[in-house]
Structure 1
Amino acid sequence: MSKVELISRRLLDKLQEQMSRSSTIYILTSFAMKSGVRLLKDSLRAAAERGADIKICVGDYLFVTQPEALRELISIHPDIEVRLYRSEGISFHPKAYLFEDTEGGYFIVGSSNLSRSALTDGVEWNLGLDKSVDEDVFAEAMEQFLKLFYAPETVPVNAETAADYEKQHQDYHQRHPNLARIWAENEEIELMLPTETEKKQEGETADKVDVVHETAAPYGTIQPRFAQVEALERLEAAYEEGYDKAMVVMATGLGKTYLAAFFARRFSRVLFIAHREEILRQAKQSFERVIPDRTAGLYDGNQKEGNADMVFASIFTLSMKKHLHSFRPDAFDLIIVDEFHHAAARSYERVLCYFQPKFLLGITATPDRSDNKDVYALCDGNVAYRIDFIEAVQRGWLAPFHYYGVYDDTDYSQIKWLGNRYDEEELLQVQLREEMAEKILRAWKRYKKTRTLVFCSSIRQADFLSEYFQRHGCRTISLHSKQTAISRKQAIAMLERRELDAIFTVDLFNEGVDIPSVDTLLFVRPTESLTVFIQQVGRGLRLYKGKDYCVIIDLIGNYRNADVKLRLFDTQRGETKKKARESVVPTVPETCELHLDVQAIHLLEEMQKKRQPRKERLLADYRELKQELGRRPTYLELHLQGRSEAAEYKQEFGSYVAFLYWAGELSELEKEVFLKHEPWLVEMERTVMSKSYKMVVLKAMLERGPSGWHQPITPQEAAPFFHRYLTEKEYRKRIDFSDGETKRLWEYDQEKVSRLIARMPMTKWSGSSNGLISFENNIFVLQFPIAREHEEILHNWTKEICEYRLHVYFERKGG
């Protein structure tokens, strides 16, 4: 086979040839047609059946992709992963086919989308390259594909998302009938998308950038300090108590990576997973300093040092089946997952389902569960230790701040919202104005200290403001992925030496780089992500000699999250307040100050009044998770993976099933079961659990299956399961089976365990259940009839609530 070849006809033949032998098949196309999918269907199915790793990403640009094509793709084989790129009007034109097997690889890039004419007799040019031509380019292509495949703009294609896309597809073509096309069953008229000037992808860091590391001085002999001491104690305790996974939430600047390294000393082999190469390289250096007698290696698109004692792996490389299966499932004793809310949870889930470590540790700086829900779910909700930046400031572990909220009169409601960001061109029209720049400069000069980081929305805004500041006598530079005149390392050194007053940047300093001397932060961008905002605030809060506090200058406009983000500074956040409405002005630590323009306060109060009602927010969050899963989430899935707390559904509706009824999510038979048995569902949700015993007895009953679960049970019948459940996990035994009496029951004694069950869960629950349960003559009975046709549905709902309540009960809670 030729090393490089031009394929101008019958690309289909080449694709089928490669699919017949490849173990990795990645397809990336602007759009997909059902006729094109059908041509490849048999080859894809055969490859999937022999275990190939198959990922297909198609775009929704101009809604050319046919809904039928998406359904056809997901029907081929359950192991084929399909994702849809939501372009939100931004041009999306890639066409690439990547193949790899044990012998080598092959890469096709060109003009052919996934349609019959493009794969057969249409006028198309594609270039095929053998992997051996340039292995680095091939590795980069694989890595870039996965980054795009798991980008925030993509969604998994399943029955839910396909139906949603079909509605949007129909709506778009009704509004743009001139773009509609008639597609014949056997032959398609090819749609050549109009060429547009590609919009720059602002904020992307270059592949190769200077990495700035902290100096060794603050750590001295590398011993745990500050929050690390407490967190390490909690982690050690969790491991000793039998937990096999946990999460640590620590504010930026408190040393999460060093904490992980200290904890890793007790394990033989360690895998550290992250989504960015800068994080991997810095983590490797930190671990080498803490554990110098172990070997450390990188495993990413360029290096494959998988035999090291400590492996630092890119999730995008590791999630490829070929690389994942190069390790044994038990290859690592400890796996550490860093800040992975940036990447797709599903890729991590696949990796972590494969490995069988003794312990899984998730580390994140994000304080809000809505942002770190993915790592929260993978760690089973077990939070070993939690400290946000506000508490760290209160304890003197981070620098105090003086926050100045400057009113921004821009009307952001008139700027198009693209699902996760504002339309860049429309945003720039209001940002690139001299009067706006003058206002920003005036506020900065009034409040600034010595060294400033300015966070911008885009490269064009950063360049514009930096030039404006320079014209007014300030020493500034615009530093971003397109900057070639000066390196990041040089710019940071100049700022530290006070040869620069400010660095204007776009997302370069969110994570992975620290400049402790920075004492002023200027936000000239709308806060679209609370996660990113918190990371950027953390850039200024590191302790530094001579820095008594950090100034935060923030433009406050009517953009999304403007009112929510101020709660992050509130020392009373999370506390139950009896006031009808919380004040928009947060209560900050005593060492800090917060000042808001009067106009900004009025704006925030108006925004708070208009905030989405809780019922509608819960419904939106539920639907988002349902789309991710492609089906109705279980109660436990809602708790672990939902953006809102599952407890809110119970508070608002009485039970999760009652919410489903309200949301129109139940079938006619399910509605019938709900209306008949709502008191039982509410009872399970609300019954007090000072111990887990009630739900353990219920779980023992559920083990008997849909037709037998509701039959009477005696303490003696429940005893074997009851004892096994509470002793098989060390943490269950410690929490609920280790007081004076129950500790003597670690060795199974049916009579004594039966007496415990009779005296506690059975007697107590019957007394508090409003007649739904009775316990007489040593028999535990549900006092309501269940029709045969209702048995399975009620069994499943009872099981969901039982598993949810047990899981929540045993979750570790941070201090």
Structure 2
Amino acid sequence: MLKTSREPKLLTSNLIDEVLHHIQLSSTIYLLSAFVMKSGVKMVLPALKEAAARGADIKILTGDYLYVTQPEALSLLSELPHDQVEVRLWQSNGRSFHPKAFLFNVKDQGSLIVGSSNLSKSALTSGVEWNVSIPNEVSGEVYKDALEQYIHLFYAENTMKVNHETLKTYREQHAAFRQKYPDLAQKWSAKEEVELTLGPDTHPEEINEPSEPYITTQQKPSPRFAQPEALDSLQTTYEEGYDKAMVVMATGLGKTYLAAFFAEHFNRILFVAHREEILHQAKASFEHVNVGKLAGIYNGKEKNADADMIFASIFTLSIQDHLKRFNPDDFDLIIVDEFHHASSRSYQKVLDYFSPKFLMGITATPERTDGQDIFALCDGNVAYEMNFIQAIQGGWLSPFHYYGVYDDIDYSEITWLGGRYDEEELAQAQLQEHTADNILSNWEKHKQTRTIGFCSSIKQANFLSRYFNSHGYQTISLHSKTEGMSRKEAIDKLDRKEIDVIFTVDLFNEGVDIPSVDTLLFARPTESLVVFTQQIGRGLRKHIEKTHCTVIDLIGNYRNADVKLKLLGTEEGEGKKKGQVHPVTPANCEINLDVKAVQLLEELLKKRSPRKDRVKLAYDQVKEQLGRRPTYWEMHLNSTVSVKEFKQIWKSYAGFLSANDELTIEEQTIYETYKDWIEEVERTPMTKSYKMVVLKYMLDRGEVDWVQSVTPEEIAPYFHSYLTEKPYRKNIDFTSKNTKALIEYDKKKVANLVSEMPLTKWSGSSKGLLVYENNVFSLNFEVPTKDRALLKKMTEEICEYRLKYYFERKWKKE
């Protein structure tokens, strides 16, 4: 066994000895390797399995740059237990990815190893490599910074988790690349520095600036805007027995103050966010409302774990050693800001660990049109929702005048990479003088006084800024590489009208308020409806000098070009006329489209992907996200389409799975044999939950006995218990005149209710599949013992979905 040196040391050979030694000792094991090879993974895999068995927090990040990482290596890593080990792949899209680092820690004793070695046998043993091992107590802030930066990198948007489904995709991409570039496959090391695309400029980081002090008045504030109504709804939700809920409120309505008001009802609070300035602003807001409660920050620099109200960086808190500093029940209320980020693994890890009395998610953008759905994290329970259209109608946000101008770039010729367009190809199309002139002329035609221009890349922002300046305007390009001007200085100049436009790349999506901005210029295709909604919100705050916000948007034949217009219309207007281009807008708002833009949108509407293809694509996205076949309920929570479409097209979710070869051979046989039963459970009408509660009782009797007949008297205790154990179930389904007396349990009365309603009604509408005679309820078909377990599983999946969806829908209606 190696002795652990507490001094920095240079390692030029046999790095594997040092790595294995630290793996054996550490509770935190974070590996960062530009690529991984099967030979290297084999050397560390046994030690990693042992570390996972003892509960170590293990993360491994590698990249797909030049497709050097071997699929076989990723396959080996995927053998590690998923509950303890996370493996993610950096999707470089040609951007060079070369980091090599190993971070180890146990009780603040560990090391940071940085150098040249990737996870391959030669790099870990006999290759010419230089690595430096620095104990974390020696490196001090460097180690802490490395830990924080690792988590940022690990959960970056362009990383994907490695699972069975994503590995299949990577294998295909790896094979295609090797076939296209056979020479590169053998000589990758000579070419690894070649920038195949735009390089580092295409993925800017946020500008790091000290947080501005959050100014508040001394007097304790009172709820305003939509806050009183939202508070009432939250309190009702809590009293109804829910332990989690989401609040959707448009930017500008005071989501953080709403959370602060709600927090007055709880003793100890944890507020979690992903950006430092949000933490400090939230701390000030909560202190303003919750007078007398001690507040503290928990991030990379401060570690206040004892305060009544803790404001924690998700990147710090999700590190296991920090998470375990708290007990799971330490907090009565946990608030997750910008809840649309909470589907990432870092948030899930934190939310899975804690058991608060109540979990509150707050966001302005819950759209189900951008991949993973955050409704899953709050069990589908939205306590309150007010989008920016409703806030405009309420008079709390500024109206908008939208101008959709024609963009002649042919986006069908630009490679779509699943979530975005290829940066190099997009830039080549955007950085043309005629394109810039089209943007400038439309801006001159519709602009007001202060503009934010949203761009696809730093290169486009710089290009447009130079072009506008050459035509006599004062503009700046503001991004992570900007030198000589901070974000605050740029905002102040825009506010004072010293500049006309700030061209930026994703810097003003969240947490930045510039009320005086009255013009938004979208010089980029809308790849994400979530981002589009956030950016629209930047111009809707009310200001004494503006009557409305002008939105100038380039509309081309890109994805979501037609869909996003629905975000600008009222619910009453959507879908009124099939194929309509103009949604119905609130009073004082306008939508104006170029003739060419209208023609383009109408053409796009005609070419929308066929319904079956769209549903299958949504299913594939959820399956890849989970790494396995989703259950019916998981599809409801995570899908970008309504799961009603499964029933409408295929008569059942199982029917969809069968039609798309997603069932095993055994499941296919069961589906074909009992198809009528599966469709009956899926499609039987439910004015109340009673039918599915009876079915749940039957299923809960076990794999063999679930098909046995039952009597109302047998069902009654379970039926009553299920519908009264949660206040919301009782209030929804146990409060009519006929059932009010049943809240105080009377077995005979409950049995009579069961007999009169679910048993009699269901047997009568089931087309002979169910029978209720002589006080006995039974299946009217035989299920051999060998079929019962699998049919139970398939039936249970439908029953779970229908019960949960029923109460979710009824709660929202209430």
Shorter-chain TM-score: which interval?
over 0.9
Residue in 2 that maps onto 1:260: 259
AA in 2 matched with 1:238: T
TM-score (norm 1): 0.95
Give secondary structure in 2 for the equivalent of 1:562: coil
Q: Which amino acid aligns with 1:194?
A: E
Measure, in 2, the Cα distance between the counterparts of 1:591 and 1:77: 56
Pairwise CA distance, 1:665:
0.6
8 Å Cα contact 1:383-1:814 kept in structure 2:
no
Q: Does 1:667 align with 2:671?
A: no
Match of 2:127 among 122, 125, 129: 122
Residue equivalent to 2:401? 402
* 1:169 counterpart = 2:166: no
Mapped contact 2:41–2:119 kept (Cα < 8 A): yes
Q: Which residue of 2 aligns with 1:64?
A: 68
Residue in structure 2 matched with residue 605 of structure 1 by the alignment: 602
Give the conservation status (yes or no) of the 8 Å contact 2:28–2:320: yes
Per-residue CA deviations over 1:369-422 (Å, capped at 9, x if unaligned) read 234854311100001111211121122121111111111111122222222222
Whether 2:756 is the aligned partner of 1:752: answer no
In 2, the alpha carbon distance for the partners of 1:743 and 1:306 equals 48
Aligned partners of 1:11, 1:206: CA distance in 2, in Å?
35
Provide the residue aligned with 1:440 in structure 2.
439
The equivalent of 1:186 in structure 2 is: none
Q: CA RMSD in A?
A: 2.1
- 3-state DSSP of counterpart to 1:483: coil
Contact 2:374 2:638 in 1 (8 A): no
User: Counterpart of 2:617?
Assistant: 620
Instruction: Give the alignment of 1:253-652 within 5 angstroms.
Output: 253-342=252-341, 344-371=343-370, 373-572=372-571, 577=576, 579=577, 581-652=578-649
Q: Distance in 1 between matches of 2:68 and 2:27?
A: 30
Residue by residue, what CA displacement relative to the aligned partner does 1:47-88 show, whole Å, maximum 9, x if unpaired? 112111001112122222222211211224342221222223
Task: Note the alpha carbon deviations across 1:410-440, whole angstroms, 9 max, x for none.
Answer: 1122222222222222222222222222222
AA aligned opposite 1:715:
P
Q: Does 1:30 align with 2:34?
A: yes
Q: What is residue 148 of structure 2 aligned with on the other side?
A: 143
* C-alpha contact 1:386 1:814 (8 A) present in aligned 2: no
Q: Hey, what does 2:57 align to over in structure 1?
A: 53
Task: Write out the 4+ residue segments of structure 1 that deviate beyond 6 Å after TM superposition.
Answer: none
Residues 1:40 and 2:44 aligned together: yes
The residue type paired with residue 399 of structure 2 is: P
The answer as to whether partners of 2:573 and 2:585 remain within 8 angstroms in 1 is no
Deviates more, 1:505-514 or 1:81-90: 81-90
Structure 2: which amino acid aligns with 1:473?
Answer: G
SS at match of 2:477: strand
Q: How far did 1:549 drift?
A: 0.7
Distance in 1 of aligned mates of 2:439 and 2:121 = 55
Q: CA 1:442/1:103 → structure 2, altered by over 3 Å: closer, same or farther?
A: closer
Of 58, 75, 81, the match for 1:77: 81
Please state if 1:98 is matched with 2:95.
no
Moved more, 525-534 or 366-375: 366-375
Say if 2:716 is the partner of 1:719. yes
**Contact 2:452 2:520 (C-alpha < 8 Å) held by counterparts:** yes
1:113 to 115, 118, 125: 118
Q: Structure 2 CA distance, aligned partners of 1:113 and 1:611?
A: 45
Deviation by residue 1:79-113 (Cα, 9 ceiling, x = unmatched): 22212222233222221111111042211111111
Structure 2 CA distance for partners of 1:736 and 1:213, relative to 1, 3 Å: farther
Inter-CA distance 224–324: structure 2 relative to 1 (3 Å threshold): same
Match of 1:184 in 2: none
Q: Partner of 2:812: helix, strand, or coil? A: coil
3-state SS of 2:177 partner: helix
Aligned partners of 2:579 and 2:602 also within 8 Å: no
Which secondary structure state, in structure 1, belongs to the residue aligned with residue 252 of structure 2?
coil
> Which has the higher mean CA deviation after the structures are superposed, 697-706 or 490-499?
490-499
Q: Give the Å deviation of 1:210.
A: 4.8
Quick one: distance in 2 between partners of 1:203 and 1:90?
A: 9
> Which string of whole-angstrom CA distances, capped at 9 and with x for unpartnered residues, describes residues 112-143 of structure 1?
11111110001111122221233222122112
Aligned residue number for residue 225 of structure 2: 226
- Contact 2:43–2:121 at 8 Å: present in 1 too? yes
Contact 2:269–2:309, Cα closer than 8 Å, also in 1: yes
Measured against aligned partners, the alpha-carbon deviations of 1:481-538 in whole angstroms (never above 9, x if no partner) come to 2222122112212222222222111111111110111111111111111111110000
Amino acid paired to 1:588? T
Do the aligned residues in 1 keep the contact of 2:368 with 2:639 (CA within 8 Å)? Answer: no
Aligned match of 1:208: 208
Task: State the distance in 2 between where 1:236 and 1:344 align.
Answer: 25
- 1:732-778 CA-to-partner distances (Å, cap 9, x unmatched) read 11111233443332333222211111111111111221221121111
Q: State the shift of 1:201 in Å.
A: 4.2
Distance in 2 between residues matched to 1:782 and 1:637, nearest whole Å: 28
Q: Matched residues in 1 for 2:540 and 2:284: separation?
A: 23
Q: Secondary structure at the residue paired with 1:179?
A: helix
Superposed CA offset, 1:193-215 (max 9, x none) = 62235812446344622545776
* Distance in 2 of aligned mates of 1:647 and 1:782: 26
Shift of 1:2: 4.8
Tell me the amino acid that sits aligned with residue 744 of structure 2.
E
On the 8 A contact 1:212/1:513 being kept in 2, the answer is no
Letter in 2 for 1:345: S
**8 Å CA contact 1:23, 1:52 repeated in 2:** yes
Q: Per-residue deviation at 1:596?
A: 0.5
Shift of 1:576: 5.1
One-letter amino acid of the structure 2 residue matched with residue 647 of structure 1: K
Pick closer, same or farther for the CA change 1:213–1:499 going to 2, 3 Å.
farther
Query: Structure 1's 154 and 262: CA in aligned 2 closer, same or farther, altered over 3 A?
Result: same
Alignment partner of 1:766 out of 763, 766, 776: 763
1:194 matched to which residue of 2? 192
Distance 1:660 1:752 in 2: 41
Amino acid at match of 1:799: E
* 3-state secondary structure, aligned to 2:562: helix
Q: Write the distance in 1 (CA, Å) between the matches of 2:728 and 2:318.
A: 31
Aligned AA (2:53)? E
Distance 1:589 1:194, change over 3 A: same
CA offsets 1:425-461 (integer angstroms, 9 cap, x no match): 2222222222222222221121111111111112222
Q: Distance in 1 between matches of 2:490 and 2:184?
A: 49
When the two structures are aligned, how many residues end up with a matched partner? 805
Does the 8 Å contact 1:228/1:259 carry over to 2? yes
Query: How big is each residue's C-alpha offset from its partner over 1:770-793, in whole Å with a ceiling of 9 and x where there is no partner?
Result: 221121111111112223332122
In structure 2, stretches of 5+ residues that fail to align are none
Change (3 A) 1:192 1:3: farther
Task: Find the aligned partners of 1:765 and 1:525 in 2 and give their Cα distance.
Answer: 55
**Equivalent AA in structure 1 for residue 561 of structure 2:** A
For residue 80 of structure 1, what is the amino acid of its counterpart? V
Whether the aligned pair in 2 keeps the contact of 1:151 and 1:343 (CA below 8 Å) is: no
1:810 maps to what in 2? 807
Q: Is the 8 A contact 2:92 2:158 kept in 1?
A: yes
Indicate yes or no: 2:683 matched with 1:693: no
Hey, what's the Cα distance between the residues in 2 that align with 1:482 and 1:343? 28
Secondary structure of the residue aligned to 2:705 is coil
TM-score of the two chains, using structure 2 as the length reference:
0.95
1:480–1:335 Cα change, 3 Å: same
Distance 1:192 1:291, change over 3 A: farther
Q: 2:712 & 2:171 partners in 1: Cα distance? A: 54
What 5-or-longer segments of structure 1 have no aligned partner?
A: 182-188
Whether the 8 Å CA contact 2:206–2:507 is kept in 1: the answer is: no
* Distance (Å, rounded) in 1 between the aligned partners of 2:370 and 2:314: 19
